[in-house]
Amino acid sequence: MSTQYRKNAEDFMTLEKQFHLGFLPTEQSNPLTVNLDKEFARSSYHGVKNLQSPDRNVLAMAKKVLASEKFRKLADEIYNTLTAGGKVVFSGCGATGRLSILLESMYRECCAKNPALAQYSDQVFSIMTGGDYALVRAVEFFEDYQSFGWQQVKELDMQENDMLVAITEGGETSSVLGTLFEALDRKCKGFLLFNNPADLLAEHLERSRKAITDERVCVLDLSCGPMALAGSTRMQATTSEQLVAGAALETAVCKLLGRPVPEHAKLFEALLDELESEKSVQAIADYIDFEADTCGKGNLLTYFANDFLLDIFTDTTERTPTFKLPPFRKCDDTVSARPWAFVKNPIYPTSELWEKSFRRPLRCLQWSKELYVAMDAPENVIKNPPLINAAELLKFPVGSEMVEDRIVSDRDAAVLVTLSSGDDNAALLNAFDKVKGLFPIVRELSIGEGNGDFAVKCRLEKSPLELISHMAVKLVLNTASTGIMVRLGRVTGNWMSFVDVTNKKLIDRAIRLISSIGNMSYEDACYKLFEAVEILKNMPDNHPEKMPVVQYVLKKLGRK
């Protein structure tokens, strides 16, 4: 083997210090869940209780932030921008990019159902690093480049009377900060939401300091401590951002409609109380055991949903990089492994589904080689620009077609996800009735007042954006999907030891994981990681030692 890995490791340690993020609370191990794998070994019930405990830190933060002047400024500015005819743009990457798409969808759905909002229906937008395609499959390394964010703002043609709400869990994602800087240069109003102490970010990271200290930016620090799963900001960090950003948007909508504003902190507290009840915990634990048993034996599981389809997409898509699972597969791909879990809407074919879900045309990227050169993209991207356009997104059969592709054994399962607040449950049930007979196993996961096979009981208060219902889906699925991966051995302690190193932040996280579990210095762990990356890159796919890079290193070290 060559010694190139040593140079790669040394370059990362010396040249990429702005991506060494172990000082951030969102990247650290949460002491509440440090024995998460052991709790699940006791029982899934105990594991769920343990996983839920950090959500109370979100509540404590929310009570403070939702009563703050900065939150009122955010809600008021959304209202003022809408009434002045400007655009409100939410921007994010990965989990926060999917959240941005969800917020836009929630708003457009509300406008479609309320004639009084018709004049405002095309004023809320989202920027997802990598475009809409990244909702379904992660676009590797895009988050590392501010220039990619600049370009997406340019393509939305943001103007002086518009506003941008940048959402980044860690407060340091380059592409998201790029959207903020470009919007500010265009004289738009700028807001920045993140989940680490602002002074800590400003002290250590130049790109974060530039944004935080800019007088044109209104900063909302949503710090709520480490994640239940170390570094998995799809959990408490994005939960807090969905609650705060969603509450601000819903506050503005209520003002447009002349309706009372929900007491979001109290509703969120009531939701946590109910999800932590003995019956709800047991229902979630039972569901975890069911899906872990299904997928752990090599069988496939397919979720069916309608109203809350995007929420389920968000959770299932994020399992791939977090736990190194097979990604969603396109209709013309007969070689790649089928994803363990997939999401389908049985009502509409894929060709109709996305615009019905988004209530807008697809917003994908079709950038040329010349544009990538102008944006100073890495050489491998310039030579082979990723296929992330609308035509490629439409190849994922997420609609009513190709149901049979999800049935290859006599233990494959269909799971219908229903919410008692869903307006189209009748249409969903009718469509599902036509396909469920194809599946050997059929179950219903109900959230709210329903009585599914796995019934997570909670009150879902109606509101213009159905924010609490969306929060309930997120909390239940995040808990379930993480618990399933713990049950299947893809978590060590409370570290995601199967993490995929697809960007600089994940490389750093993998190094720190090896350092922590392997009881070695960051420097030694860095050499071990890059050495393993080179070994695995040159190893055939069918080699018995081909495995996720962190697992490979830990195995060589004789660790779990």
Amino acid 47: pLDDT: 98
The pLDDT of residue 306: 94
Amino acid at 96: T
User: Residue 227's Cα: distance from chain center in Å?
Assistant: 13
**Which structure tokens are listed for 365?**
């990227």
What is the share, in percent, of the chain residues with pLDDT greater than 70?
A: 99
Same fold for the domain at 45-51+267-487 and the one at 55-262? yes
- Contact indicator for 22, 224 with CB cutoff of 8 Å: no
How far is the C-alpha of 246 from the C-alpha of 252, rounded, in Å? 10
SS3 (DSSP) at 122: coil
Which CATH superfamily does the domain covering 45-51+267-487 fall into? Glucose-6-phosphate isomerase like protein; domain 1 (3.40.50.10490)
Say what the pLDDT of residue 424 is.
Answer: 56
Contact 209, 201 (CB under 8 A): yes
What pLDDT band is residue 560 in, cutting at 50, 70 and 90? low
- Cα distance from N-terminal residue to C-terminal residue, the chain: 26
Strands ordered across the beta sheet of 454-457: 341-344, 301-304, 413-419, 441-448, 454-457
pLDDT in tens, 134-163: 999 888 789 999 999 999 999 999 999 999
Ramachandran region, residue 88 (left: φ > 0; alpha: ψ -120 to 50; beta: rest): beta
Q: Which helix (H) or strand (E) holds 532?
A: helix 522-537
Identify the residue whose tokens are 């759905």: 109
The Cα 128–Cα 134 span in angstroms is 7
| Amino acid (1-letter code) at residue 252 | A
Percentages of the chain per state (helix, strand, coil), in multiples of 5: 55, 10, 35
In the prediction, which pLDDT does 1 show?
55
List pLDDT tens digits, range 323-372. 889 999 999 999 999 999 999 999 999 999 999 999 999 999 999 999 99
Q: Is the pLDDT of residue 421 over 60?
A: no
- DSSP for 431-493, please give it: HHHTTGGGSSEEEEEEEES---SEEEE------TT-HHHHHHHHHHHHHHHHHHHHHTT--BT
pLDDT tens for each residue of 161-193: 999 999 998 889 999 999 999 999 999 999 999
Provide CB contacts within 8 A for 160, sequence distance 6+: 186, 187, 188
**In this predicted model, what pLDDT tens digit does every residue of 218-237 receive, in sequence order?**
999 999 999 999 989 999 99
The answer to whether 531 touches 511, Cβ cutoff 8 Å, is no
The pLDDT, as a whole number, for residue 502 is 80
pTM: 0.93
| Nearby residues of 185 by Cβ (< 8 Å), 6 or more positions away | none
> What are the structure tokens assigned to 118, written together?
């018709």
Q: List helix spans (H) across 139-205.
A: 146-156, 174-185, 198-204
Q: Where are the domains of the chain?
A: 4-29+495-556, 45-51+267-487, 55-262
For the ranges 41-55, 217-231, 479-493, 497-511, which has the lowest average pLDDT? Answer: 497-511
pLDDT mean over 251-264? 98
Surface-to-core class of residue 116, CB atoms within 10 Å of its CB (0-12 exposed, 13-18 middle, 19+ buried): exposed
- With tokens 């447009």, the residue in question is 256
Query: 180: Cβ–Cβ under 8 A, 6 or more apart, which residues?
Result: 91, 149, 164, 166, 190, 192, 211, 217
- Helical spans, DSSP H, in 187-277: 198-204, 206-212, 236-257, 264-275
- Whole-number Å distance between alpha carbons of 532 and 514: 12
What H or E segment, with its residue span, contains residue 81? helix 69-83
H-assigned helices in 309-458: 309-323, 350-358, 369-374, 379-383, 390-393, 425-433
Assigned token pair, 69: 């002047």
**Rounded to whole angstroms, how far apart are CA atoms 369 and 274?**
52
Average pLDDT of span 269-288: 98
pLDDT at 86: 98
Asked whether the beta carbons of 5 and 471 are under 8 A apart, the reply is no
Residue 24 or 545, more confident: 24
- What integer is the mean pLDDT of 1-15? 89
pLDDT in tens, 120-132: 999 999 999 999 9
Q: What confidence score (pLDDT) does residue 166 get?
A: 98
Q: Dump pLDDT digits (tens) for 189-219.
A: 999 999 999 999 999 999 999 999 999 999 9
Which architecture characterizes domain 55-262 according to CATH? 3-Layer(aba) Sandwich (3.40)
Whole-angstrom Cα distance, residue 232 to residue 306? 27
Return d(Cα 268, Cα 271) in angstroms, integer. 5
State pLDDT tens for residues 442-478.
Answer: 999 999 999 999 999 999 999 999 999 999 999 999 9
Rounded CA gap, 161 and 522, in Å?
A: 47
Q: What is the mean pLDDT of the chain?
A: 94
Would you state the structure tokens that stand for residue 416, as one six-digit string?
């219908």
